[in-house]
């Protein structure tokens, strides 16, 4: 099983559409606009019609009902490119960090939703864990520092082993 897509109600349709296209490189696969509602289907995966849906109709409120929207990337270099785009665009409140199991950057989108871009590491450590990192540092330096930190952390094990253990647990359910 996997999560197929996420739909967000937005307050400023064009601003949100531009933001997600610019930061993550989403393509618009379908879009419809009317006086009463606008909707856009976005994807960064050519085998998936949509991974993100933006729809007008967000209520006027400071309350956020979603904890965060997370995008898994494939490489640390890709995460560093996203981080640079965020810096270049002047996105505020960037939080680059490692959870040990992932390298991440957290940031607000134009509607104030908490967004995470992340890439998995090859290690597991007990969660929750947060250590600030410098995503502008050379990739090999980030990897070496993270591995050294993980090896000292509770629960350290290679992710392959952790995944095998979880698969065994799931099979017994």
Contact between 79 and 143 under an 8 Å Cβ cutoff? The reply is no
The structural domains of the chain, with segments of one domain joined by +, span 1-58, 68-173
Q: What is the pLDDT of residues 44-81, one digit of tens each?
A: 999 899 999 999 988 887 776 778 999 999 999 999 99
Q: How far apart are CA 118 and CA 75, in angstroms?
A: 9
Please tell me the pTM assigned to this model. Answer: 0.88
Q: How far apart are CA 52 and CA 84, in angstroms?
A: 22
Q: What is the pLDDT of residues 112-121, one digit of tens each?
A: 999 999 999 9
Q: What is the CATH number of domain 1-58?
A: 3.10.180.10
Instruction: Copy the structure tokens of residue 92.
Output: 């505020």
Q: What is the pLDDT of residues 139-172, one digit of tens each?
A: 999 999 999 999 999 999 999 999 999 999 989 8
Q: What is the CATH number of domain 68-173?
A: 3.30.720.110
Q: Residue 9: count other Cβ atoms within 10 Å of its Cβ.
A: 15
Instruction: Measure CA of the first residue to CA of the last residue in the chain; give whole Å.
Output: 15
**What's the pLDDT score for residue 60?**
84
- Over 70: is that where the pLDDT of 37 sits? yes
């Amino acid at each position: 099983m996997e999560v197929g897509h996420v739909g967000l109600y937005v307050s400023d349709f064009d601003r949100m559409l531009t933001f997600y296209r610019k930061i993550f490189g989403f393509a618009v696969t379908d879009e419809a606009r009317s006086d009463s509602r606008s909707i856009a289907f976005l994807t960064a995966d050519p085998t998936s019609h949509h991974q993100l849906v933006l729809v007008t109709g967000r209520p006027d409120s400071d309350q956020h009902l979603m904890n965060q929207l997370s995008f898994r990337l494939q490489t640390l270099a890709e995460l560093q490119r996203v981080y640079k785009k965020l810096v270049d665009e002047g996105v505020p409140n960037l939080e680059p960090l490692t959870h040990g199991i992932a390298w991440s950057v957290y940031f607000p989108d134009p509607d104030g939703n908490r967004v995470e871009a992340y890439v998995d590491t090859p290690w597991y450590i007990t969660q929750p864990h947060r250590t600030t990192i410098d995503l502008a540092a050379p990739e090999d330096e980030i990897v070496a520092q993270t591995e050294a930190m993980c090896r000292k952390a509770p629960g350290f094990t290679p992710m392959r082993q952790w995944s095998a253990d979880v698969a065994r647990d799931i099979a017994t359910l």
